[in-house]
Structure 1
């Protein structure tokens, strides 16, 4: 602006000179108005915000892709993936603030997209938390077996071995029972159906819609993978096709999706049930220990005659364990302790990440609803404002909780 004023001043000075006549300084107009049209600075700022946001997504997606594809079948990768989603939604919140786009300027369609997506995410978080809680409940059985198999003082008695066998068998059945809710998971499919990049005229709106689309794509993909892992069913596994290739995160996302889906499909094609590595390690140990405990505690029930009297002399004494069996029992017991502790730690970490993600989504949704109330209140009467408050409080997010 100062430069334009300076040019105008020089033009006025030159025009006052007799030998210049009425000729302007730039006979074809000010070239700065052509190079830098009105409002171009804001457009450049929006492009920079858009580039920064999408590059941040791309960089984090690259870190999320494991060196070994098999590592995606772990609770530790699941924890990193949910942490990625939390960071993405926090970045989205920051972007909205940097755009200086008040809710009063939001198109009604944008608000519907945000609110609809957020309530679906809350439902997905609840389903994931429920399944993780169910898996965590099995830790009680494992900890009791660890207590029974404490070999630091003495060798477990036949009774302890028998109880250990029963509880290990119960844990194996518990861990292999799958969630039918996650297997069908209509919420994820419904969220996938909302994927789309609406055409927006304003620069701010375009940046916002691209950002919302990118975050939603990541969310649908990652939640779909979790549903497969926790349900043991390939039905929720989907290949997302991005609407455009001009997103900066396009290549990184396609690489990650191809690697993850390829590994999961390879597991299913081999006849294996997809399961987290941490759980599979404990299950292998539990199965081996289960076989050893039944061999070390086998005894026949006392025989009864025709009138139901026990004959104690016919009871077969428990078979004594060999040194090799005792050594194997000790190794399995130690591995069970280490595996159970590691599994419990990972389940707690993932559960915490899911809860944190739930809170981020919920706070973002509540903030939008609060801003809607504030922006709508001045133009409404007292009765209308009160009605709006009641309507907002009946939002699906409250029902989801």
Structure 2
């Protein structure tokens, strides 16, 4: 795995692995251009769909689910493109392979960090379920237990997840890998490098938004400038400006600390907390009390559903990265392209 003190490296910082794939001076054929155009146009369409005009969608679990689903589809597309290009793994440079495996490990680490945060938020829902269960009972002593559970939930939600906090370091490495290598003699290499750049840009952007959402800090956001020569460049720039700009506005105005669905639950909990803590006369505030309990119940259910759906998408992305990594290792072993010692040293 990369170490934070190592200098930034491009994705292909060493000898071009595609140098031997075609004669010197090769140009993109119509076939390769069609494959590249199809990939870039599909990516542009995905980016447009993520560029929501409804500000309430930003930092919501539903938008984040769509973003992760979009990212999964793009990573699947690059796998299909590699298959279509029929790039022989045996010609890849060992040092490039090492860098590629290192980047895949970084992506797996990010997935693990996001999954751990989603699991932590789900654990908080168990405390909310205890609150709601106790509030259905009549004896006053259950309000004491409900108040205690609500206190525990607030402390749990406001705690920091070290894995999410460390995402910035990992994202720094991925941003440093965005530089495109120079591919002079391989038409297939040119297609793959250009397509993989789009994959990496989308990956860095979405992962940085997730890190900001889970940490409640705009410092986790990254701004990635993209050349206009890419078909998806304008759509990405519009998406990045809209989402990052709105997140910064939300945080600067003291808005959402983490997720929109979680903010709804926190608001309901704040209204309910004084009623069960101070032992107010529930007869006098019966309607307000029931409304607050109902709001908390609905908010908790929506939060639970959203976390569950997003967790599945993050797990799916983890599997896509892992299977792609395993497939590369399998191909290398079957082709005898590199030593077993090198492969074993790179296994996560």
Paired residue for 2:135? 149
Paired residue for 1:102? 88
Paired residue for 1:322? 283
| Residue aligned with 2:278, SS | helix
Paired residue for 1:50? 36
Superposed displacement of residue 113, structure 1:
4.3
Superposed displacement of residue 396, structure 1:
4.2
Contact 1:86/1:360 (CA < 8 Å) preserved in 2? yes
| Residue aligned with 1:394, SS | helix
Contact 1:132/1:347 (CA < 8 Å) preserved in 2? yes
Find 1:392's aligned residue among 340, 343, 348.
343
Q: 92-101 vs 175-184, which deviates more?
A: 175-184
Q: 133-142 vs 388-397, which deviates more?
A: 388-397
Superposed displacement of residue 274, structure 1:
3.3
Contact 1:70/1:263 (CA < 8 Å) preserved in 2? no
Which structure has more RCO (C-alpha within 8 Å, separation ≥ 6)?
2
| Residue aligned with 1:235, SS | helix
Instruction: State TM-score, norm by structure 1.
Output: 0.76
Q: How does 1:219-298 map to 2 (within 5 A)?
A: 219-242=203-226, 244-272=227-255, 274-296=257-279
Q: 112-121 vs 336-345, which deviates more?
A: 112-121
Superposed displacement of residue 182, structure 1:
2.1
What stretches of structure 2 of length at least 5 have no aligned partner?
1-24
Q: How does 1:13-32 map to 2 (within 5 A)?
A: none
Find 1:210's aligned residue among 188, 194, 198.
194
In structure 2, C-alpha distance between the alignment counterparts of 1:274 and 1:248, rounded to whole Å:
35
The answer to whether residue 66 in structure 2 is matched with residue 80 in structure 1 is yes
Superposed displacement of residue 67, structure 1:
2.0
Instruction: State TM-score, norm by structure 2.
Output: 0.87
Paired residue for 1:3? none
Per-residue deviation, residues 91-144 of structure 1 (Å, max 9, x unmatched): 000000111112123355653443222111001111111111111110110111
Find 2:52's aligned residue among 53, 66, 88.
66
The answer to whether residue 326 in structure 2 is matched with residue 375 in structure 1 is no
* Bigger radius of gyration: 1
| Residue aligned with 1:238, SS | coil
Count of residue pairs brought into register by the alignment: 322
Superposed displacement of residue 213, structure 1:
0.9
Per-residue deviation, residues 361-383 of structure 1 (Å, max 9, x unmatched): 00001101111111126xxxxxx
Contact 1:178/1:230 (CA < 8 Å) preserved in 2? no
* Deviation >4 Å, runs of 4+: 107-110
In structure 2, C-alpha distance between the alignment counterparts of 1:292 and 1:62, rounded to whole Å:
46
| Residue aligned with 2:311, SS | helix
Paired residue for 1:381? none
